[in-house]
Amino acid sequence: MRTIYLDNGATTKIDPKVLEAMQPYMTEKYGNASSTHHKGQEAKIALEDARSLIAKSINAKPEEIIFTSGGTESNNLAIKGLAFANSRKGKHIITTNIEHDCVLNACKWLETQGFKVTNINVDKEGFIDPAKLEKAITKDTILVSMIHGNNEIGTIQDIKSLGEICRRKGVFFHIDACQSYTKTEIDVRKHNLDLVTINSHKIHGPKGVGALYIRKGINITPLAHGGGHEQNLRSGTENVPSIVGFAKAVRIADKGHARQMVKMRDYLIEKVLKIPETYLNGPSGDKNGDRRLCNNANFRFSYVEGEAIGGYLDAKGICSSTGSACSSRSLEPSHVLMAIGLKPEEAHGSLRLTISRFTTKEEVDYVLSVLPGVIKKLRAISSLGGF
């Protein structure tokens, strides 16, 4: 059976060119980047080239990039590391109610350590009202941490306006850009960013590698102590093959890919919405890919369960998801869908389809030929009423 992979919000396939770039660093160029001999230096050069390339992609300086094991670690380092290093200034952190679990749970843990966390509510499309953010900031606030491009509903926050508020109020601003990186512009200077989390496996790079941008001069307490790698902020021998692959994936990504995905996404959305009593979750009216992630579509179908749709699609070779990959085994309705005001049964009736630049029109057409029949069949046996 052929596979049609529309779960690129969970992870993406490795670009063959990325794999090719990584391979020498797993075979002949295996040195430890901390070793002073020529093998070590060979790895060190690759590591620093990758750092420079990634720094440039967000208008940062190479020394402001710390390599980590991925988005989860970068978010933990940003939030806990900043909280501990700056707790004398204040103990209040602001985040939102549509964060990835790694941010939500890092913040929850900080509450057990004496920090106070405010979760700002988003609007019906998942946007944060700048006035709400401004109002939530107190004298005790040290950090605002928010997801840039939402992994479930695709909402892209207006980081420029939100960053301006944080800078003016003197609080640090962290964004989780795992989903948005390379898909929409991130410029740490223009957008007033202090900390940025990015990872590789959402952009056709390898899993288990990511980075944290830390604006020069910001104090962070490391979570892992050891040999002092990555400017003492993340000890452990650097994963050079994966870092090289990450940088290659960044080098390959370009604006043309995002434009291509916007077109494909909008084609998919337009056709799926023709199914009766079907609605789009998250922002609509996004022509330029700056309000909604270019690869994200999230639908809700009345009277059916997203899990059941996903199962039927899977039987036809189509990979989809009902929400975040981390919580896809949970029976609880998605906290993101609840945050935008959906009822539990509406949240349960939702399905996320996330494309990539490798997704073809023919694949989308195949999905479009299968999906209406699946919905019809499920509605015919639905106990939720309607059809």
Given 102, 166, 319, 326, the catalytic residue: 326
Q: How far apart are the two ends of the chain, measured CA to CA in Å?
A: 31
Buried b (16+ CB within 10 A) or exposed e, 267-289: bbbebbeebeebbbbbbeebeeb
Q: Which helix (H) or strand (E) holds 94?
A: strand 92-96
Q: Considering only 45-53, 174-182, 241-249, 264-272, which stretch makes contact with ligand PLP by CB under 6 A?
A: 174-182
- Helical segments of the chain, H only: 16-22, 38-57, 71-85, 101-112, 130-136, 159-169, 240-252, 255-272, 306-315, 335-339, 344-348, 361-380
In the list 102, 122, 340, 364, the residue contacting ligand PLP (rule: CB under 6 A) is 102
Task: Name which of 147 and 342 has its Cβ closer to ligand PLP.
Answer: 147
Helix/strand/coil for 180 = coil
Task: Name which of 196 and 342 has its Cβ closer to ligand PLP.
Answer: 196
- β pairing state of 350-354 and 296-301: antiparallel
Residue window 183-212: x/- pattern of binding to ligand PLP, with contact defined by CB under 6 A: ----------------x-x--------x--
Q: Shortest distance, CB of residue 157 to ligand PLP, whole angstroms? A: 12
Q: Shortest distance, CB of residue 353 to ligand PLP, whole angstroms? A: 15
The answer to whether residue 179 forms part of the interface with ligand PLP (CB under 6 A) is: yes
Q: Shortest distance, CB of residue 69 to ligand PLP, whole angstroms? A: 7
d(CA 253, CA 276): 36
CA nearest 220: which of 333, 357, 78, 351? 78
Q: Shortest distance, CB of residue 325 to ligand PLP, whole angstroms? A: 6
The answer to whether residue 71 forms part of the interface with ligand PLP (CB under 6 A) is: yes
**Ranges within 247-286 binding ligand PLP (CB under 6 A):** none
Residue pair 386/277 in contact (Cβ under 8 Å)? The answer is yes
d(CA 107, CA 76): 9
The answer to whether residue 72 forms part of the interface with ligand PLP (CB under 6 A) is: yes
Q: Shortest distance, CB of residue 191 to ligand PLP, whole angstroms? A: 17
d(CA 364, CA 250): 25
The answer to whether residue 242 forms part of the interface with ligand PLP (CB under 6 A) is: no
**Ranges within 127-166 binding ligand PLP (CB under 6 A):** 147, 151
Is position 102 annotated as part of the catalytic site? no
The CA-based dihedral angle spanning residues 56, 243, 45, 229, taken in that order and rounded to the nearest 10 degrees: 100
Q: Shortest distance, CB of residue 321 to ligand PLP, whole angstroms? A: 11
How many residues bind ligand PLP (CB under 6 A)? The answer is 15
The answer to whether residue 176 forms part of the interface with ligand PLP (CB under 6 A) is: yes
**Which residue type, as a one-letter code, is found at position 331?**
L
In the list 100, 204, 234, 357, the residue contacting ligand PLP (rule: CB under 6 A) is 100
CA nearest 335: which of 98, 150, 110, 44? 98
d(CA 32, CA 320): 39
Q: Shortest distance, CB of residue 331 to ligand PLP, whole angstroms? A: 20
Sheet of 172-176, strands arranged across: 65-68, 210-214, 195-199, 172-176, 141-147, 92-96, 116-120
By beta-carbon distance, which residue lies closest to ligand PLP?
71
Task: Name which of 72 and 298 has its Cβ closer to ligand PLP.
Answer: 72
Q: Considering only 176-184, 215-223, 255-263, 299-307, which stretch makes contact with ligand PLP by CB under 6 A?
A: 176-184
Q: Shortest distance, CB of residue 174 to ligand PLP, whole angstroms? A: 12
**Ranges within 207-226 binding ligand PLP (CB under 6 A):** 210
Apex 119 CA angle, 116 and 125, nearest 5? 170
Residue pair 39/265 in contact (Cβ under 8 Å)? The answer is no
Task: Name which of 302 and 350 has its Cβ closer to ligand PLP.
Answer: 350
d(CA 112, CA 378): 44
Active-site amino acid positions: 326
* Binding footprint of ligand PLP on the chain (CB under 6 A): 70-72, 75, 100, 102, 147, 151, 176, 178-179, 199, 201, 210, 325
